[in-house]
Chain A
Amino acid sequence: MQKTTPFLIEAMLDSPVIISPEAYLTLDSLLSASCQLHGENYTALPLARTDDMYHASAGILVGNPISSEATFIARMTVRDYSDKRIIPNKRTGLVVSLVAFPDKARLDRHQAFHVPKMIWLGCGDPDETLRILSRLPGIGKRCNSGFGQVSSFSVLPIQEDFSIKLPDSTLARPVPVSVCRQLKIDTSHTLLDRATYKPDYFDFSHADICALPSTRQITEDDVVFIKEGG
Chain B
Amino acid sequence: VNSKSRASLALYYQWFGARAYATCGKSGIINKPGFTSCSACGGTGRLHSSEMGYHAFCDVCVTVGGSYAGIKNPGRMGGGWTALITPDSAVLSTGADENLEAFKPMANVQLHKNTVQKSLIQGLMTPPEPPFMLIAFGNSNVDTCKQLRASYSKDLIYICGARIDRVDARYVRHTVSAIKEYGFPKKQTQQAVTAYSLLARGMATASAIEQAKKTITDAELKNPGIIDFIRSMPMTDSTEYKWTMACAYEKE
Contacting pair A104 B140 (CB below 8 A): yes
Contacts known (A101-B40, A105-B143); A194 close to B155, Cβ less than 8 A: no
Interface residues of B in 186-212 (CB under 8 A from A): 201-203
Please, which residue of chain A has its CB at the minimum distance from the CB of B35?
A84
Interface residues of B in 77-133 (CB under 8 A from A): 131
A84→B142 CA distance, assembly (Å): 18
A40 CB, nearest partner CB in chain B, Å: 24
Chain B 148-179, CB within 8 Å of chain A: the 1/0 string? 00111101100000000010101000000000
B178 CB, nearest partner CB in chain A, Å: 17
Residues of B within 8 A of A79 (CB): 42
Q: Is the interface of B mostly helix, strand, loop or mixed?
A: loop
Cβ-based interface call for A100 (8 A): yes
Chain A 56-94, CB within 8 Å of chain B: the 1/0 string? 000000001011000000000001001011000000000
Cβ-based interface call for A39 (8 A): no
What is the total number of residues of chain B having a CB less than 8 Å from a CB of chain A?
Answer: 33
Contacting pair B39 A95 (CB below 8 A): no
Please, which residue of chain B has its CB at the minimum distance from the CB of A99?
B140
Q: Is the interface of A mostly helix, strand, loop or mixed?
A: loop
B99 CB, nearest partner CB in chain A, Å: 19
Residues of B within 8 A of A204 (CB): 2-4, 6-7
Cβ-based interface call for B65 (8 A): yes
Contacting pair B201 A64 (CB below 8 A): yes
The residue from B34, B155, B201, B202 contacting A84, defined by CB atoms under 8 A apart: B34
A215→B201 CA distance, assembly (Å): 17
Number of A-B contacts (CB under 8 A): 66
B57 CB, nearest partner CB in chain A, Å: 9
Interface residues of B in 27-73 (CB under 8 A from A): 34-36, 39-40, 42, 54-55, 65
Residues of B within 8 A of A168 (CB): none
Cβ-based interface call for B141 (8 A): yes
A225→B53 CA distance, assembly (Å): 64
The residue from A85, A202, A209 contacting B152, defined by CB atoms under 8 A apart: A209
A219 CB, nearest partner CB in chain B, Å: 12
The residue from B35, B39, B166 contacting A102, defined by CB atoms under 8 A apart: B39
The residue from B131, B155, B202 contacting A64, defined by CB atoms under 8 A apart: B202
Contacts known (A21-B166, A64-B201, A105-B40); A192 close to B141, Cβ less than 8 A: no
Chain B 18-33, CB within 8 Å of chain A: the 1/0 string? 0000000000000000
Contacting pair B203 A101 (CB below 8 A): no
The residue from A101, A191, A202 contacting B141, defined by CB atoms under 8 A apart: A101
Residues of B within 8 A of A228 (CB): none
B196 CB, nearest partner CB in chain A, Å: 14
Contacting pair B141 A85 (CB below 8 A): no
Cβ-based interface call for A112 (8 A): no
Contacting pair B65 A101 (CB below 8 A): yes
Cβ-based interface call for A203 (8 A): yes
Residues of B within 8 A of A35 (CB): none
Please, which residue of chain B has its CB at the minimum distance from the CB of A214?
B168
Residues of A within 8 A of B55 (CB): 101-102
Residues of A within 8 A of B150 (CB): 194
Contacting pair A203 B3 (CB below 8 A): yes
A105→B4 CA distance, assembly (Å): 18
Contacting pair A191 B168 (CB below 8 A): yes
Contacting pair A192 B35 (CB below 8 A): no
B3 CB, nearest partner CB in chain A, Å: 4
> Can you report 13 A-B residue pairs in the complex whose CB atoms are below 8 A from each other?
A64-B201, A84-B35, A100-B140, A101-B65, A105-B143, A192-B153, A192-B156, A193-B152, A193-B153, A202-B2, A205-B3, A207-B7, A209-B152
Q: What residues of chain B have their CB less than 8 Å away from a CB belonging to chain A? A: 2-4, 6-7, 34-36, 39-40, 42, 54-55, 65, 131, 140-143, 146, 150-153, 155-156, 166, 168, 170, 201-203, 237
Give me 16 other A-B pairs in contact (C-beta within 8 A), A21-B166, A82-B36 excluded.
Answer: A66-B203, A84-B35, A101-B55, A102-B40, A102-B65, A102-B142, A105-B40, A105-B146, A191-B155, A191-B156, A193-B152, A193-B156, A194-B7, A194-B152, A203-B3, A204-B6
